[in-house]
Chains A and B, each alone.
Chain A
């Protein structure tokens, strides 16, 4: 059973690696935003399988934190991707030089 779980873990990591190559090469920034999405699911699946294979229970906490922070990082990427100022207000636009 651990052997099988390790194999699937390695397989999923390979899928993540291949997906990462495709995403990071992507022509636009919208493509690259998906990188943390890919990690949010693939990386967590690999972690949970690893945890079950070596029978350590603390790894689920790492998976939870990873899920939260991957979502948070994705939101940060989306919010900061565009140069548009319609999402910001408060006295400065994006292109204002620093005083």
Chain B
């Protein structure tokens, strides 16, 4: 057994052990810490499988963003549980949930393992058509050239989800600011960090979007980094969430999907079908789509984490 396979086996065991610990953790906070660590560890696993795009997304979403989401949910639940006396699920319910999850995992593992070796794959044909799209990254080619329709539909899902989250606001707070206002010591370490990291994070995010066509990266990874940096400044109390009735906010959210849709409809005019790119212009158009989508994704993710409006617009 080579060292490399020993490392991979060790990683697999560590991931499983951490997942098991997270599932059986007693405390909400401990479980969330375990889950975020699990996400960061999983990005290592993706790197060892040579899936760098997924590794970037896993580090961003599974590592940072989901942790904040769960922590916020945990904070709200703490207050609710104390006051409403909600009942926790009984032992039968938990055992059947565990059985269901385990059978799904085992089923997926079997489905992958019983594939013939080498497994049937479209990768060679995807790579062969890369030259026509002038891109170097096959993952971005699949997302934005071969299956651009899926990506268009996914880009429309984010604003819709946001509307769903906003609809949870109580009537008197509609149009107000989401979430709470954080406060921190103006001279303190957190504010220092929140002033130092975001410029670098913004640079990193834009870099991810720019190189996404040729190297691992892309608009989603870049947007996630931008959203995380903005949330960092919010946690330090430097910035505050805008009230959701602001027009500029809504324009930013809609611009990305609208631009994507417009380019798709323009495909009728030029080469003749929806979302077709004129030959030779594929890469610039894809870059335009990615550049337009990135602020929308970043804003949508950040606002999804902020939650429904809980304060009056000017409060």
Contacts and interface: CB of A to CB of B under 8 A. Distances in A.
Interface of A: 3, 6-7, 9-10, 13-14, 17, 20, 24, 29, 32-33, 35-36, 39, 43, 46-47, 50, 56, 58-59, 61-62, 64-66, 68-73, 75-77, 79-81, 83, 86-92, 94-99
A24 B74 CA distance: 18
Contact of B310 (A14, A73, A91): A91
Interface residues of B, number: 74
Contact of B197 (A68, A83, A91, A99): A68
- Choose among B47, B72, B204, B215 the residue with the greatest number of A CB atoms under 10 Å from its CB: B47
Given A32-B33, A47-B44, A98 B76 contact: yes
Given A24-B33, A43-B44, A87-B182, A95 B52 contact: no
Interface of B is mostly: helix
Nearest to A96: B79
A81 B78 CA distance: 12
Interface string B178-209: 00111110000010010001001100100110
A24 B41 contact: no
A6 B7 contact: yes
Contacts of B80: 97-98
A63 B232 CA distance: 19
B75 interface: yes
Contacts of A39: 37, 40-41
Contacts of B75: 80, 94
Interface of A is mostly: helix
B30 A66 contact: no
24 contacts: A6-B3, A14-B10, A39-B37, A43-B41, A50-B47, A61-B56, A65-B56, A65-B221, A66-B59, A69-B59, A69-B63, A72-B197, A72-B228, A73-B67, A75-B235, A76-B67, A76-B231, A79-B190, A79-B235, A80-B72, A80-B75, A88-B181, A90-B181, A95-B82
Given A36-B36, A43-B41, A90-B311, A95 B78 contact: yes
